[in-house]
Amino acid sequence: MRRVFKVLQLSLFMLVSCGFAWGFGAVDRCAESKNAVHELSSTKEDDLRAAEEKRIIALCPEGGSAFFVRGLQMERNGDSAGALTTYREAISLDGSLPEAHGNLGLLLLGSGKAAEAAIELTKGLMGKADPRS
């Protein structure tokens, strides 16, 4: 009987410690959101892109990734001033988003602020060479 109990104990220990989160561990939704932003530019179909943007915002609504997506949406709708502000907010929340730096730099360049744009575009090179591809 004692041997059966030890085998059960050992089996239970192995099962619990085999590396699964079992749904109880803390999932970093903001990190998942940030990873999704890095893949967003490769999504070309409008429907899939819109769904992915919604998912990014839902994962971490107050994070830098969500503000980046909101900036993209504003820029797409012609609100460059709103997009500038929103990209800056995204960068203040997460300075390691090269997409936000790149898009901010391109908007600044378009508005004639070449010196400030150069700084942001350089930071944007942390990621892809072209932030919109």
Tens digits of residue pLDDT in 59-81: 899 999 999 999 999 999 999 99
pLDDT in the model for residue 75: 94
Share of the chain above pLDDT 90, in %: 46
Identify which of 84, 28, 86 has the alpha carbon closest to the alpha carbon of residue 60.
Answer: 28
Asked if residues 98 and 123 have their Cβ atoms less than 8 Å apart, the reply is: yes
37, burial (CB in 10 Å: exposed 0-12, middle 13-18, buried 19+) = buried
Asked if residues 64 and 38 have their Cβ atoms less than 8 Å apart, the reply is: no
Is residue 42's pLDDT more than 90? no
Question: What is the distance between the alpha carbons of residues 84 and 104, in angstroms, rounded to a whole number?
Answer: 6
99-116 pLDDT per residue, tens:
999 999 999 999 999 999
Domains of the chain are 28-124 (1.25.40.10)
pLDDT in the model for residue 69: 94
Is residue 32's pLDDT more than 70? yes
Instruction: Provide mean pLDDT across the span 124-133.
Output: 65
Q: Over the Cα atoms of the chain, what is R_g? A: 21
